[in-house]
């Protein structure tokens, strides 16, 4: 159960920011004893991999805070974030952490299952994030973009750490996601109706 929560938390974190959970796992594995990556995932703690992830995170950090650019970035990340989610779910659920001491029995067969599970989770979170951002930008004239992005980054860091150190708290993040999803869908429908109404009014003029 804890293995699944660890993988879920990391994959959800990747849905917000692809590089934060990867970098968190790499740094914690390289410099602390909080996580012991399995042999197939030791490359995450490689110095060059960590350096590349830092550069990619810096680019993402800036791009996601600029209105319009953030939309383009979300389109690009439609592939990147789910891919990262598959990687971190598989690596995280099969790693030994401070709370998971026998990960070998989890997903011991069908090794593709954790990867697909992580892809689906990360894509779901990414879809909600991508849908919510235009609503926030439109409602705040773009001012809300950097604020929303910062909140997402902080949430991604917190979720990555919680998934590794205290995975049971991932349930709280999932509850928050379940609450946010209906609101996002409702606001998108309202915004779509507003655009259609404005378009119709323009045609009548």
Look at residue 123 in the predicted model and tell me its pLDDT. Answer: 93
Three-state DSSP state, 86: helix
Structural element, H or E, at residue 35: strand 35-36
Look at residue 199 in the predicted model and tell me its pLDDT. Answer: 65
CB atoms under 10 Å from CB of 23, counted, come to: 21
Both structure tokens of 168: 């049971």
Look at residue 119 in the predicted model and tell me its pLDDT. Answer: 94
Q: Give the chain's domain count.
A: 1
Q: What is the mean pLDDT of each run of 10 residues along the chain (205 residues)?
A: 86 94 95 87 94 96 90 91 93 79 63 86 90 80 85 93 88 78 69 66 55
Q: Are 128 and 81 in contact (CB under 8 A)?
A: no
Look at residue 205 in the predicted model and tell me its pLDDT. Answer: 47
- Full domain range(s) for residue 58: 2-204
């Amino acid at each position: 159960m804890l293995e699944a929560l660890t993988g879920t938390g990391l994959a959800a974190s990747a849905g917000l920011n692809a590089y934060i959970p990867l970098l968190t796992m790499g740094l914690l594995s390289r410099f602390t004893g909080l996580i012991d990556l399995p042999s197939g995932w030791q490359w995450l703690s490689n110095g060059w991999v960590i350096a590349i992830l830092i550069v990619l995170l810096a680019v993402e950090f800036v791009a996601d805070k600029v209105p319009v650019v953030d939309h383009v970035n979300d389109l690009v990340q439609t592939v990147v974030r789910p891919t990262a989610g598959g990687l971190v779910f598989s690596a995280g659920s099969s790693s030994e952490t401070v709370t998971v001491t026998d990960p070998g029995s989890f997903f011991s067969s069908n090794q593709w299952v954790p990867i697909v599970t992580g892809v689906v989770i990360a894509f779901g979170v990414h879809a909600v994030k991508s849908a919510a951002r235009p609503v926030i930008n439109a409602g705040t004239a773009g001012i809300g973009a950097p604020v929303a992005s910062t909140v997402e980054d902080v949430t991604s860091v917190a979720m990555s750490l919680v998934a590794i150190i205290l995975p049971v708290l991932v349930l709280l993040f999932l509850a928050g996601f379940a609450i946010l999803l209906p609101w996002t869908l409702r606001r998108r429908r309202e915004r779509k109706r507003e655009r259609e109404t404005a378009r119709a009014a323009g045609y009548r003029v």
